[in-house]
Amino acid sequence: MNRIECLRAVYPQLEKRVVVTIMGAVAIELQSIGHRPNFFYLQHAMGLASSIGLGLAVSLQEQRIVVLDGDGSLLMNLGTLSTLAHSGASNIVHVVFDNQSYLSAGDSPTATAQSTDLEGVARASGIPHTASARSVEEFQTAFASALDSGKLTVLVAHVDTSGVYDRPTDLGLLENRFQFSRHCQSLARR
């Protein structure tokens, strides 16, 4: 399955959520489906999308935070899984698009192309709810159940090594930052 198909399948459920993506192909793909003020595309800080997600989850406890991450990015900051598990935050769905590649930086293989099982790492780190998906239908079902569960979830989506990664987005980095920040402030005031 392709990541953009997964994103299209769950886009209606993302529309009203606070969403943080890691940089690169996933950010461009989500933006190509439709940008919203509640979407933040974290640039440059590889590995830290879930850390930003945790900060949001702690400060916006009424919201369900969706993090859209990559395998290479998560592998740079595996400690985030233990931090998430021990934070007590239950309002995060951490989706990891595992394409076994650092696709956005030239398509070299990550450790998941060999033997690393990120769902297994998440489970062993103490994440209470983990799942894997290998088809769009499985992904859609697992994502919906993660949102419904009210549990901290890591969902690993095994996707093809394909995607849009060589064109810049037309949304300015600062514009995205301030728009998203204002959106979160408005949620906090409710």
Ligand X SMILES: Cc1ncc(C[n+]2csc(CCOP(=O)(O)OP(=O)(O)O)c2C)c(N)n1
**Could you tell me if 121 and 75 are in contact, meaning their C-beta atoms sit under 8 angstroms apart?**
no
Residue 99: count of CB within 10 angstroms of its CB: 26
Partner from ligand X, Mg ion, none binding residue 105, C-beta < 5-8 Å depending on class: ligand X
The verdict on 21 binding Mg ion (CB under 5 A) reads no
Name the H helices within 68-172. Answer: 71-75, 79-87, 118-124, 136-149
The verdict on 173 binding ligand X (CB under 6 A) reads no
Total residues contacting Mg ion (rule CB under 5 A)?
A: 5
Q: Is the dihedral of CA 100, 38, 130, 132 positive or negative?
A: negative
Q: Return the number of the residue (63 or 101) whose C-beta is nearest Mg ion.
A: 101
Select from 26, 66, 142, 157 the one that contacts ligand X (CB under 6 A): 26
Partner from ligand X, Mg ion, none binding residue 66, C-beta < 5-8 Å depending on class: none
Q: Return the number of the residue (102 or 180) whose C-beta is nearest Mg ion.
A: 102
* Of residues 28-67, those binding ligand X (CB under 6 A): 44, 46
SS3 content of the chain, % helix, strand, coil (to 5): 45, 20, 35
